[in-house]
């Protein structure tokens, strides 16, 4: 399903969505050197519940550029922005769009703390989310969201 109002995200639910996703895949995943980050729902949950978290960021600490990427949030309280010190964000996602996207992506799934989420990202290209649920029957859900183009 495509976000009906802003068209900034898609959750693959039917054949039409798969065709759109395949076109996006040819222009992104197949074209650019995407990186991946695997997190659990327990690691992502705080960003979904923080009241003032305006952006979800995927990036690195400047001192550890060769290490694995991490998730960080950018808080905005009374026009003051608070972000992690020494953090370089490679991709930034607006929580205004991410929360309804994630709700639709996890619809009818039992999200447990150890549910695996794989995030594929590359700079300003669309970010791919894959969720793997292992409750009796194995299920995989895929969604794509457009990151913030300028910050």
Structural domain count of the chain: 1
- Residues 131, 134, 112, 17: what is their CA dihedral angle, to the nearest 10 degrees? 30
In a domain, 95, yes or no: yes
The length of the chain in residues reads 151
Q: Return the SS3 of 20.
A: helix
In a domain, 150, yes or no: no
In a domain, 1, yes or no: no
Domain that holds residue 60: 9-145
| pLDDT < 50: residue spans in the chain | none
What does the alpha-carbon distance between residue 61 and residue 70 come to, in Å, rounded to a whole number?
Answer: 8
In a domain, 4, yes or no: no
R_g (Cα) of the chain, nearest Å: 15
Task: Please state, as a whole number, how many other Cβ atoms lie within 10 Å of the Cβ of residue 118.
Answer: 15
In a domain, 80, yes or no: yes
Q: Which of 22, 44, 65, 38 is nearest to 130 (CA)?
A: 38
**Residue 57 β-bridge partners:** 72, 92
What does the alpha-carbon distance between residue 151 and residue 41 come to, in Å, rounded to a whole number?
Answer: 26
For residue 81, the model assigns a pLDDT of: 79
In a domain, 91, yes or no: yes
For residue 137, the model assigns a pLDDT of: 66
Q: Do residues 134 and 94 touch, judged by C-beta distance below 8 A? A: no
In a domain, 34, yes or no: yes
**2 DSSP 8-state letter:** B
Q: Do residues 12 and 18 touch, judged by C-beta distance below 8 A? A: yes
* Site of tokens 């989420």: 117
In a domain, 2, yes or no: no
């Amino acid at each position: 399903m495509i976000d009906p109002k802003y068209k900034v995200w898609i959750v693959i639910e039917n054949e039409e969505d798969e065709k759109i996703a395949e076109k996006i895949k040819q222009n992104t995943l197949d074209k650019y050197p995407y990186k991946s980050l695997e997190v659990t729902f327990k690691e992502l949950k705080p960003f979904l519940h923080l009241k003032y978290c305006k952006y979800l960021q995927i990036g690195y600490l400047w001192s550890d550029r060769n290490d694995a990427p991490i998730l960080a949030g950018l808080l905005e309280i009374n026009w003051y922005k608070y972000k992690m010190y020494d953090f370089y964000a490679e991709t930034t996602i607006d929580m205004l769009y991410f929360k309804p996207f994630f709700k639709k992506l996890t619809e009818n799934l039992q999200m447990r703390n150890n549910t695996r989420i794989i995030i594929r990202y590359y700079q300003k290209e669309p970010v791919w989310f894959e969720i793997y649920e292992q409750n009796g029957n194995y299920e995989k859900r895929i969604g794509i969201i457009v990151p913030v183009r300028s910050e």
